[in-house]
């Protein structure tokens, strides 16, 4: 029993440090987090509770009915920049992220 603890405790401590480091990386801006993740092996997704940590790190604090934070995006042809606040009170806006094909 004592021999098991001698090996198990350091393994649990190292695992906890690695989980904490990964969670700290998830709190970084997306570009920095992407650079960090590009260096990690794909087995990382299986060894650590990636999805629950990601959902906790990126949950935000918006509630239903809150005003959306302002953001600015380039138009599809990249000729202009449009801000979300420019539509406030005028018309509904639907934002689609990702592929819709």
- Evaluate if residue 1 carries a pLDDT over 90: no
| 56: in domain | yes
User: Taking the chain, what is the end-to-end CA distance rounded to the nearest angstrom?
Assistant: 58
Task: Calculate the CA 55 to chain-centre distance.
Answer: 7
Q: What is the arithmetic mean of pLDDT over 82-100?
A: 80
- Evaluate if residue 97 carries a pLDDT over 80: no
Mean residue pLDDT across the chain: 87
Q: What is the pLDDT of residue 101?
A: 61
| 70: in domain | no
Q: What is the pLDDT of residue 94?
A: 79
| 100: in domain | no
Report how many domains make up the chain.
1
| 75: in domain | no
Q: What is the pLDDT of residue 10?
A: 93
- Evaluate if residue 95 carries a pLDDT over 80: no
Residue 88 is encoded by which pair of tokens? 């406030």
> What pTM value is reported for the model?
0.61
| 34: in domain | yes
Pick from 78, 81, 60, 58: nearest CA to 69: 60
Rg (C-alpha) for the chain, rounded Å, is: 21
Residue numbers of the domain that contains 7:
2-62
Q: Give the pLDDT band (50/70/90) at residue 99.
A: low
Pick from 15, 36, 12: nearest CA to 24: 36
| Residues contacting 71, CB < 8 A, separation 6+ | 83, 84
Q: Cβ(26)–Cβ(57) under 8 Å?
A: yes
pLDDT in tens, 7-33: 999 999 999 999 999 999 999 988 899
């Amino acid at each position: 029993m004592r021999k098991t603890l001698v090996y198990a405790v350091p393994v649990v401590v190292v695992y906890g440090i690695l989980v904490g480091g990964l969670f700290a990386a998830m709190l970084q801006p997306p570009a920095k987090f992407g650079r960090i993740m590009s260096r990690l092996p794909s087995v990382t997704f299986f060894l650590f509770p990636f999805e629950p940590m990601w959902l906790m790190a990126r949950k935000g604090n918006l509630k239903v009915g809150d005003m959306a934070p302002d953001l600015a995006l380039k138009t599809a042809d990249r000729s202009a920049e449009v801000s979300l606040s420019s539509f406030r009170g005028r018309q509904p806006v639907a934002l689609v992220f990702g592929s819709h094909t």
